[in-house]
Amino acid sequence: MSLSEPTVRQRPTAAPDTAPPRPRRRPIARRRVTTWLLTAGLTVMCLIWVYPFAWLISASLKTPLELFGKGLNLVPDEPQWENYVRAWTDGGFSTYMVNSIIVTVGSVALVILRSALAGYVLGRFDFVGRKLIIGIMVVTFFLPEGYTIIAVTQITDSMGLLNTHLGMILGLGAGGHVPALLLYAAYFRSLPKELEESAKVDGAGHFRTFFRIMLPLSMPVTATVGLLQFLTAWNAFLLPLVFTLSQPDLRPLAVGMVGFVSQNYTDHTGMAAAAVISLTPLVIVFILLQRHFVNAVAGAVKQ
What is the torsional sign of CA 64, 65, 67, 68?
A: positive
Task: Name the CA dihedral angle for 151, 157, 158, 164, rounded to a multiple of 10 degrees.
Answer: 130
Q: How far is the CB of 279 from another protein (least distance, A)?
A: 5
Interaction residues for another protein, span 217-276 (CB under 8 A):
231, 234-235, 237-238, 242, 245, 253-255, 257-258, 261, 268, 271-272, 275
Restricted to residues 149-208, the positions that interact with another protein (CB under 8 A) are 149-155, 157, 170-171, 173-176, 181, 206-207
Confirm if 204 and 212 have CB atoms less than 8 A apart: yes
Question: Considering only residues 30-49, where is the footprint of another protein by CB under 8 A?
Answer: 31, 34-35, 38-39, 42, 46, 49
Torsion, Cα 192 194 196 200, to 10 degrees, reads -170
Q: Residue 228, class by beta-carbon neighbours within 10 Å (0-12 exposed, 13-18 middle, 19+ buried)?
A: buried
Q: Is 140 in the site for another protein (CB under 8 A)?
A: yes
CB of 196 to another protein, least distance (A): 12
Site string for another protein, 79-98 (x = CB under 8 A): --------------------
For residues 260 and 92, what is the distance between their CA atoms, to the nearest angstrom?
Answer: 8
Q: Among 64, 223, 279, 292, which residue sits at the site for another protein (rule: CB under 8 A)?
A: 279
Q: How far is the CB of 51 from another protein (least distance, A)?
A: 8
d(CA 5, CA 11): 16
Q: Which residues, in sequence order, are CB contacts of 11 under 8 Å at separation 6+?
A: none
For another protein, the closer of residues 21 and 203 by Cβ is 21
- Provide the minimum distance between the beta carbon of 219 and another protein in the complex, in angstroms, as a whole number: 19
Q: In this structure, is the dihedral angle defined by the CA atoms of residues 99, 105, 108 and 112, taken in order, positive or negative?
A: negative
Shortest distance (Å) from residue 282 CB to another protein: 5
